[in-house]
Amino acid sequence: MTASITTAIEEAKQRARAAVDSAAGDLVRISREIHAHPELALEERHAVAQLLPFVRAQGFEVRHPAYGLETAFRGEWGHGPVTIAICAEYDALPGIGHACGHNLIATAGAGAAAALVRALDPSQARIVILGTPAEEGYGGKIHMIKAGAFDDADVAMMAHGAPADIAAAPMYGVAHVDVEYFGKAVHASVFPEHGVNALDAIVTAYQAIAQLRHHIRRDARLHGIITHGGDAANIIPHHTKGTFYVRSLKPWYLEQLKQRVKACFEAGALATGCEMKLDWHEDQEYAPMLSNGPLAEAYQRNGEELGKTFIELKDLSSGSSDMGNVSQVVPSIHPNFGVGSPTLTHTPEFTAVAATDAAHAAMLQTAAALAMTGVDVALEPGLIGRIKADFAARGRREA
Ligand SMILES: [Zn+2]
Ligand SMILES: [Zn+2]
């Protein structure tokens, strides 16, 4: 890079940091407002109402509702050759509110988008802020991908509050399957020989899955529950139900595991003579996260410049996100950012943490790190080429 390009990038990053500082009051206020009014997947109307005036005030042209979802939106600014999409999630969890801290995701994303508008000239990039509902259920981004929300994006970024900073946290792909068995009810003592036992079928399937668990790759998970086991102890159960998750880091292995889990379900049907129904919810399957190497490295460099300390996970310990699906179609990152507490997400304790001053300081720092990464994408010669080459090589990394 020539000295003049380096200077231009540094100056743009300074403008990005200053923009986050000057928007800090608004961003923290919006985050607290979203946190205080938790809304479930696809009901996030109050959250969107908090975010849109801020996004519009930054100069974004806003489309809302968008992509067929009432609580999705798109804001667009600039006309440069690179399109940088930033995702803002804002849904909460049933019963425990913002225990995943999506109030912080929404404002880190909105803050980053605002900062890029101040940092860049409109001819240098196109900045797209996407309000992406329903991460905790339904898979809002999966729907938005199908509706074209990411078609023009060159990169997509978001950041998730967590116990620590991790630039490229692995996340499983996950398939959800519901199983039902249909047998024949009869008096359990008088005529058991005429019954077909649907509880035996699901117990046999559960046992087979529990045995399979010992023999799968370490980067995969199987877990599930029986949701209906019968109606009365003196009636042979004629109808039972269960729901199971199949998770894997590797898409090809997820497909293999699904077949092996299917065989476990079939074993239950075969052993008992029950009829079986499986529903794999194929259109809501979360793909594993493919963190883009050069993009994650740029984010980590910028985060470190702002004072972040990143850790590498030694053991795989992970959930899943519909950002995984985005990462399969656009070079993406989904870094975790430490919120100043070791508290684990999806606990009531994390709900409290997600509204602390420390969490908000981390959110602002993360907004700046995301914006500085966007500056690199727009202005650093060759970076977008390396990002795209890494994305093109993803098939090899998945093997
Ligand atoms: Zn969550
Ligand atoms: Zn989350």
Around Cβ 181, how many Cβ atoms within 10 Å? 29
DSSP state of 138: T
Q: Strand pairing partners for 127?
A: 77, 84
Q: Residue 136 C-alpha to ligand 1 middle, in angstroms?
A: 6
Give the long-range contacts of residues 209-213, CB within 8 A, separation 24 or more: 209/244, 209/261, 209/264, 212/260, 212/261, 212/264
* 90 and 106 Cβ atoms separated by less than 8 Å: yes
Cα–Cα distance for residue pair 195/197, rounded to 1 Å: 6
pLDDT at 399: 58
The pLDDT value given to residue 368:
98
* Distance in Å, CA 345 to ligand 1 centroid: 7
**If DSSP codes are grouped into helix, strand and coil, which group holds residue 46?**
helix
By the CB criterion, residues less than 5 angstroms from ion ligand 1 are 100
Both tokens of 125, joined, read: 């990039």
Taken in order of first residue, the domains within the chain and their CATH numbers are 3-171+286-398 (3.40.630.10), 173-281 (3.30.70.360)
> What is the model's pLDDT at position 169?
87
pLDDT average per 10 residues of sequence, the chain (399 residues): 94 98 98 98 98 98 98 98 98 97 98 98 98 94 98 98 94 96 97 97 98 96 96 97 95 96 98 98 92 98 98 81 96 97 96 98 98 98 98 75
The pLDDT assigned to 319 comes to 87
Cα 9 to averaged position of ligand 2 atoms, centre (Å): 32
Is the four-CA dihedral 318, 320, 321, 324 of positive or negative sign? Answer: positive
Q: How far apart are CA 254 and CA 289, in angstroms?
A: 13
- Distance from residue 38's CA to the centre of ligand 2 (Å): 13
For residue 398, the model assigns a pLDDT of: 61
